[in-house]
Structure 1
Amino acid sequence: MNSSVIKAVPVLLLSLLASRTVAAEENVFTVGGGVAVGSRYSGSDERMVAPVLQLDYAMANGLFASTMRGLGYGGSAGPLKYSVALGVRGSRSESDERGVAGKTGSKYLKGMGDIKTSATANFGLSYAIFERVEVSARAELPVSQRDNGASFGIGITGQLYQTPSDSVSLSLGANFADSKYAKTYYGVNATQSKNSGYREFTPKSGLYGVDAGLSWTHTFQAKWSLTGMAGVSSLNGDASKSPLTRKKTAPTAAIYVSRSF
């Protein structure tokens, strides 16, 4: 999974990006590219622009390999859809750096140390409770760098408008953290406090954020499509009280074009 996208776009918008590619009746390869705008890190008041790279190979038997969805398997049984995949959670740098994805990290994290990239096992379930309304649940469990912790989420997506060429959807989501995840991304331990100057802070597990996103996809020339998304993410609970949180609510956006073969 593209870690530069993960850095710039929160969970809900990333899920919307990934959901553009669905199970196919035959093998389908999709190529896409664009840009995403979001916070440099969760709680930052600085923006960053990152590339969106979509390389997605979906097989008719449910297996897939994707820069957005990871490497895994997805299927359905009536209104129920499910997936399991191996993905990547991006890193967080304590320094203000410029790379191929633009500026990353922040001077406001100096002394906090770097959070390393981790491989994750990603599980997803969704159920269509009505024709155009779907509820979902997800779990992201670290396989490497296990001290980074696990995150979970629930959401609901409604299709507001649908034609053969256009689709507009609205999604709402809530995100939860275990104690390790909360401490890794929002906590400040004794060593970090000494090095950074921030006060010590030990957040608890539980709800840490909510998201809302609006997406629009326009299909043209059969296999070409243009997708635009806009959303907002807001930190809640202990995450919003963290010394690292400089802005609780932040806008996000993405736009990309794709072609299926």
Structure 2
Amino acid sequence: MHDHRSVAAVFKRGRARRWLGALAVTASAYLPNSPALAQSSPGNSVGINVTALPDYEGSKSYRVLPLPTLSLSKGAMFVQGFIGGIAYPLWPSVAVGLLIGVQPGRNQDDAAVLNGTGDIPTSFDFGAFARWHYGPASAGLRFLQSAHAGYGNRVTLSASYALVQKPVDRVSVSADAVWSNGPSQQTWFGIDTEQAASSTAGLSAYHPSAGFSRADLRIDWDHRLNQQWSLQSAFGVGSLLGDAANSPIVERRAAVFGSVGAAYHF
């Protein structure tokens, strides 16, 4: 049972833990692609995005949060929400890099169906990515391993295409698919026997297998106001898949998400 009440109590102060965890979810799934993970940005930038997203994967409730963005050295160093990294160009169209971020936690009071299952504390992620682009098309592979023992890992496959590439406007569409190993599935979507016994909703034990857990489709629009300022927006739909979608803690398989923000270029 994921009952880490002594650790989680620290993060619960002032709802800081819930806020931090939601930031991490957004950074990995719901924000526009980081310049380093996509094609190189023409310069340095710092910005903020206001994002609407589910409380947790499978939740029917939403929250709105402000999230930071940062890109330095033409995207070679970047921060997107609470995920950051360094990119290394191998060839003009291929880059690889290292990632570090925050793995979102979950409170059992986020939804009635979670009551009695215990809290999952926030932890750290580390991993790597590879990105290829040719003209308006790009594809990527990202691996993130949780630093917390037993939390598992996830692999994200992505593809995007720039529909509009102009000096003032850039519009792109992208699709992501997330594969989760067994420990990751059990952590976020499983119910062990101890959790089932403590569940106030009367949940039965559930042990999901490794497999694809989520797919997202998103459209991004970047509008350049002048040399210093740009506006950014994104809208997408996503759905849980396979054993993740069938988890008894899932209130809603499909969700919409979006963000609007601004960036200063220097």
Q: TM-score, normalised by structure 2?
A: 0.84
How far 1:61 sits from its partner (Å)? 9.9
In structure 2, the partner of 1:132 is 136
In structure 1, the partner of 2:35 is 19
How far 1:167 sits from its partner (Å)? 0.2
How far 1:75 sits from its partner (Å)? 2.1
CA, structure 1 residues 259+166, in 2 after alignment: closer, same or farther (shift >3 Å)? same
8 Å CA contact 2:34–2:78 kept in 1: the answer is: no
Alpha-carbon distance in 2 for matches of 1:19, 1:115: 31
Alpha-carbon distance in 2 for matches of 1:205, 1:238: 8
Equivalent positions of 1:1-261 (< 5 A) are 3-7=21-25, 9=26, 11-14=28-31, 16-19=32-35, 23=40, 28=44, 30-54=45-69, 56=70, 58-59=72-73, 62=76, 64=77, 66-68=79-81, 70-76=83-89, 77-95=91-109, 105-128=110-133, 130-143=134-147, 145-196=148-199, 197-261=202-266
The amino acid that maps onto 2:129 is G
How far 1:6 sits from its partner (Å)? 2.7
Identity over aligned residues, as a percent?
A: 22
Alpha-carbon distance in 2 for matches of 1:181, 1:253: 25
Q: Output one character per residue of 1:171-192: Cα deviation in whole Å (capped at 9) or x when no partner.
A: 0111100101000000000111
CA, structure 1 residues 120+10, in 2 after alignment: closer, same or farther (shift >3 Å)? closer
How far 1:232 sits from its partner (Å)? 0.7
How far 1:161 sits from its partner (Å)? 0.7
Structure 2 unaligned blocks of 5 or more: 1-19
Alpha-carbon distance in 2 for matches of 1:190, 1:25: 53
Alpha-carbon distance in 1 for matches of 2:176, 2:240: 12
In structure 1, the partner of 2:9 is none
Q: Output one character per residue of 1:155-205: Cα deviation in whole Å (capped at 9) or x when no partner.
A: 110000111010000001111001010000000001111111211100000
The amino acid that maps onto 2:197 is K
Alpha-carbon distance in 1 for matches of 2:125, 2:159: 23
Q: Which has the larger strand fraction?
A: 1
8 Å CA contact 1:162–1:168 kept in 2: the answer is: yes
The amino acid that maps onto 1:79 is S
CA, structure 1 residues 138+260, in 2 after alignment: closer, same or farther (shift >3 Å)? same
How far 1:67 sits from its partner (Å)? 4.9
8 Å CA contact 1:18–1:69 kept in 2: the answer is: no
Q: TM-score, normalised by structure 1?
A: 0.85
8 Å CA contact 2:97–2:129 kept in 1: the answer is: yes
Q: CA RMSD in A?
A: 2.2
* Poorly superposed stretches of 4+, deviation over 4 Å: 20-26
In structure 2, the partner of 1:101 is none
8 Å CA contact 2:50–2:261 kept in 1: the answer is: yes
The amino acid that maps onto 2:97 is S
The amino acid that maps onto 1:153 is T
